[in-house]
A and B are shown apart, each in its own frame.
Chain A
């Protein structure tokens, strides 16, 4: 089998991702704990689904046949999981096996599927389910995307009813008897986290982040706060707290995913029962839905500025742009970054500031500072302001020193 050549990563991208992660920023505009947009579509047959998580797209199909059970587990059905990763070009063979085992282990070893209900005649005839997961596009976070596809397919799949009359099996067609859904006891979803230096981590990594990361952690968990799988790889030094933190996030994520998968499956089955409704992939393409067509990226907000006019103080709430220098030109206009003013000497000064960014006292040291009562000592949010050239502009810095751990534990993120 000929494999495609992996994408080579320039060192500037690696440096950029590492520096951006320190500021809790990512190239697609997410913060480190945001997930990408998830959408699920179902095909004409039961058990066929396509899941897209950002640009990662995975298809899963389930077929069945009637086979003889294993001798040791004579009254259990069989579940075979195959992952086809040939479309993904970045992984080595070892990595492919690792991901495949991960997905398989998470579902099989957690015994989320009631295999005993797939038995027809003990020791002789059972249902053997074959699940084929096909990776259509890899943009990172394959374990999560594959596990969503697998569980969405399993919960969507329906098998035909059988009746046993004198050791003879009769399989009833879907017209004859209602098809029977599988018994799923819980939904174990994998979630991956990627580590960068100083145990900074990001959720739902993209391919670029996976390629440059120090190490990664995959956590499988379900809605009952049970960890079904945990897998750490790479060369990063991770502390216990970080792992616990990740597990916490994974549990929150799987709660969201469980509800999401149940909802879309229910919607699709409802659609099937109504007359004249279009099902399958064809209408999804026609509507250019984000499942099969390229998804519309949400517009990146450069900054969020809220102004408060109380006694000429400007309060700036920076969601995305933390630690960014802003220049206030008028009461309602705030500029960000360079290239704004016409004043070239100020740009030179600005660049000096960028170079000594570590030095917190730099604004105080400037000679023309009018309000120097702000001492950047306290650990809370600080606004060091400076007005120069008779209120032509004011420069405002915001430094957010809230410790990461506190934020994570107190406010579990809302998943989008």
Chain B
């Protein structure tokens, strides 16, 4: 039943029942699905996917989506668009701006504030995502360590890609970042809101890397393997 194409309004209860009878597991409904009283319906078009773990089974719809919906705990890249006395407004690709407290940085105090300018990029974690309230961001972990979060360094280039490209790049099966890393020297930050920031020493390399990431979207498994091969073959280095 999984990998079926579904349309909005499509009832998938029968599909779930069919598969679940044998397994008798807890069902978790993920993005793209909505539970009505006795029914489960798709609310966007895409491919129905499922994943089974110990005693539960997760269903979600995999689709092309560019608009980010904030989820608590996810790490995102935001652009600083407004500055207040104690907080900055950050555009993370959601319909509304998110707020990032200036005290939510490592070793930040009321006197010692981080230096944030308009237009800077911040890599932050979503502290709270609520449909009725402003999304709150934070740049420290629960141990008050920065752990890679914070203002991204100057330079580089940020691209916006569909959300699933970012998820794909971060999935353990994807070797693209490593393979490019074996050939080029570059820095990368991938936010789950569909934004990738890349910095490498030369403009030409940045352009090449950026375009490699942009080409990932319409590639299937085989296409990715071809891409890996293409990169490794193209830039062979013989060190004598």
Contact = CB atoms under 8 A, between A and B. Distances in A.
A16 B203 contact: yes
Given A11-B117, A12-B154, A339-B185, A20 B207 contact: yes
B143 interface: no
Interface stretch (B50-58, B101-109, B211-219): B211-219
Nearest to A294: B218
Interface in B5-59: none
A25 interface: yes
Given A12-B121, A28-B211, A333 B158 contact: no
Contacts of B156: 12, 16
A211 to B, nearest CB: 12
A329 interface: yes
B85 interface: no
A23 B239 CA distance: 30
B185 A324 contact: no
* Interface of B (DSSP majority class): loop
A16 B206 contact: yes
Given A11-B119, A300-B211, A25 B236 contact: no
A234 interface: no
A9 B119 contact: yes
Given A11-B119, A16-B156, A27-B157, A337 B202 contact: yes
Contacts of A16: 155-157, 203, 206
Contacts of B239: 329, 341-342
Interface in A293-338: 294, 296-297, 299-300, 302-303, 320-321, 324, 329-330, 333, 335-338
Contacts of A320: 204
A330 B240 contact: yes
B215 A339 contact: no
Most central of B119, B152, B234, B236 by chain A CB within 10 Å: B119
B24 to A, nearest CB: 42
A61 B160 CA distance: 31
B195 to A, nearest CB: 9
B63 interface: no
Contacts of B211: 28-29, 297, 300
Given A13-B157, A294-B218, A342-B239, A337 B203 contact: no
A409 B240 CA distance: 46
Interface string B109-143: 00000000111110000000000000000000000
B237 A10 contact: no
Nearest to A20: B203
Contact of B79 (A10, A297, A299, A392): A10
Contacts of A321: 204
A8 interface: yes
Interface in B57-92: 79, 81, 91
Contacts of B168: none
B238 A329 contact: yes
B120 A11 contact: yes
A416 interface: no
A296 B211 CA distance: 12
B188 interface: no
B63 to A, nearest CB: 15
Most central of A9, A19, A302, A335 by chain B CB within 10 Å: A302
19 contacts: A8-B79, A9-B79, A10-B120, A11-B119, A16-B155, A16-B206, A25-B203, A27-B207, A297-B214, A302-B208, A302-B234, A324-B204, A329-B237, A330-B240, A336-B202, A336-B204, A338-B185, A339-B183, A342-B239
Given A7-B160, A302-B235, A330-B238, 9 more contacts: A5-B95, A8-B79, A25-B204, A29-B207, A294-B217, A302-B208, A338-B201, A338-B202, A392-B240
By Cβ-Cβ distance, the 4 closest A-B pairs, closest first, are A339-B185, A11-B119, A8-B91, A338-B185
